[in-house]
Amino acid sequence: MSKPIENLAILGLQWGDEGKGKLVDLLSANFRNAVRFQGGNNAGHTVVVNGESIALHQVPSGALHPECFLVVGSGVVLNLEVFHQELERLRDRGVEVLDRLLLSDKAHVILPYYIAIDNWRESGSNRIGTTGRGIGPTYETKAARLGLRLGDLKRPDGLLERISNIYTETRLKIGDAAPLPAPEAVLKDLQEQIKPLLKCIGNAQEYLYDAWKRGESLLFEGAQATMLDIDHGTYPFVTSSNCSIGGLFTGTGLPPKALNKVLGVAKAYTTRVGAGPFPSELSGPVAEHIRQAGHEFGTTTGRPRRCGWFDAAVVRHSCRLNGADGVGLMKLDVLDGLDSIGLVKGYRGADGNTLTAMPSSIHDLENTEQIIEYFDGWPEPTKGVKSWNALPAQAQRYLKAIEEAVETPIEYVSTGPNRGEGLLLPGRSLT
């Protein structure tokens, strides 16, 4: 791939796990900086190199390229214990990142209390199938102006009192539903965990501004996806951050003009983990085929992912919302071997009219009828195919129909988890 001239955002267009990690890994060889801007260790981004896979949760997926500087922006929430485990796993593979890592001093820290609240809430009737990592309560505490930021951990004054206040609020919520560590123990752990990271904590907003002004290339890695966005997703079955384009600016502090291009990422079908509406969901043997062929089990929690046809109404909505310039279409090979492949082109509302926009309410979304077109499967596998002309004609037809329905050009098609498995569409480039 040629040297990039643009700052590029990679954003999920469905309900997560589209293959953002693969694309970020692939592209970050050409970028000076790789930047995470929201989410926490609810994310699981799998990168496969020479058949060996590694799951990254909080470390940007540019980590495997030693020249790539890694930035964790202020919109991210960090579990420091898990962060160290991740650094250890990278070290086991000979990858050291501490000398090329900047953690925003404004990023909030996930405390054990938040995990307890998450699990307590998930045991009740408001269950939405979270990852149980404490993500929602961390962002709640941030909005309540009670949270702890990485920068706060550099100064011990008043920390115990602030942690004690969070402890007290947690007890008020969950009663004695779960044991909670004492504030003193939480503080001690945080102080241990922060020590090796002290030199990596700093002003990420200023760093990114200067890097932009110096002309250094920036690759932004979204976590979760547009349909899980707290404002624009299938609320309340969403995560607690803005995973669509707006979150990039609040989560880094960069102005919109620092970004040159948005690449949306979608699978050639759809998956969802956790509860909530999923209009194109399948059950039975086709869903099982996709789940097994695509290894559709959560990277973070191991839960089986719900599987369904590609939903162009969802992806079109997400492309519009993010201003996507192009789409990376992943996992086409997973559809190899199917006789017939469905494509949801839109929805009809309860009044029988075709909807022109994604309904804001999940009640309305659940009461739609899908407009679905079936395409012939392809006789030869697409696994590992590296050029458009080598794709079976049926696969080309399916991809062209997707492109038309989502009103955005497909730039890259992925045909396997490894770096080399995939193709650029004729005349298109990712950067």
Q: Which residues bind ligand IMO (CB under 6 A)?
A: 12, 15-17, 42-45, 128-131, 133, 135-136, 223-225, 228, 239-240, 273-274, 299
Q: Choose the catalytic residue: 25, 45, 57, 65.
A: 45
Q: Cis before residue 256, ω within 30 degrees of 0?
A: no
17 near Mg ion, rule: CB under 5 A: yes
- The least CB distance from residue 237 to ligand IMO, in Å, is 6
CB of 262 closer than 8 Å to CB of 324: yes
395 near ligand GDP, rule: CB under 6 A: no
SS3 of residue 411 by DSSP: strand
> Which CB atom, from 74 or from 224, has the smaller least distance to ligand IMO?
224
> Which CB atom, from 318 or from 382, has the smaller least distance to ligand IMO?
318
> Which CB atom, from 206 or from 380, has the smaller least distance to ligand GDP?
380
317 is catalytic: no
Chain centroid to CA 417:
17
In the list 417, 423, 430, 431, the residue contacting ligand GDP (rule: CB under 6 A) is 417
User: In angstroms, rounded to a whole number, what is the distance separating the alpha carbons of residues 52 and 431?
Assistant: 26
Across 315-377, the runs of DSSP E, i.e. the strands, are 326-330, 340-348, 369-376
User: In angstroms, rounded to a whole number, what is the distance separating the alpha carbons of residues 137 and 173?
Assistant: 11
- The least CB distance from residue 72 to ligand IMO, in Å, is 14
SS3 of residue 212 by DSSP: helix
Region of 83-91, 97-105, 325-333, 388-396 interacting with ligand GDP (CB under 6 A): 325-333
322 binds, among ligand IMO, ligand GDP, Mg ion, none (CB under 5 to 8 A by kind): none
Which tokens belong to 106? 């404004």
60 near Mg ion, rule: CB under 5 A: no
- The least CB distance from residue 239 to ligand GDP, in Å, is 12
417 binds, among ligand IMO, Mg ion, ligand GDP, none (CB under 5 to 8 A by kind): ligand GDP
44 near Mg ion, rule: CB under 5 A: yes
Angle in degrees, 0-180, between the axes of helices 183-194 and 159-174, rounded to the nearest 10: 130
State the CB neighbour count (10 A cutoff) for residue 175: 9
17 is catalytic: yes
Q: 3-class secondary structure for 150-211?
A: HHHHHCCCCHHHHHHHHHHHHHHHHCCCCCCCCHHHHHHHHHHHHHHHHHHEECHHHHHHHH
The residue ranges that bind Mg ion (CB under 5 A) are 17, 44, 299
Catalytic residues: 17, 45
The residue ranges that bind ligand GDP (CB under 6 A) are 12, 16-22, 44-46, 48, 53, 294-295, 299, 330-331, 333-334, 414-417
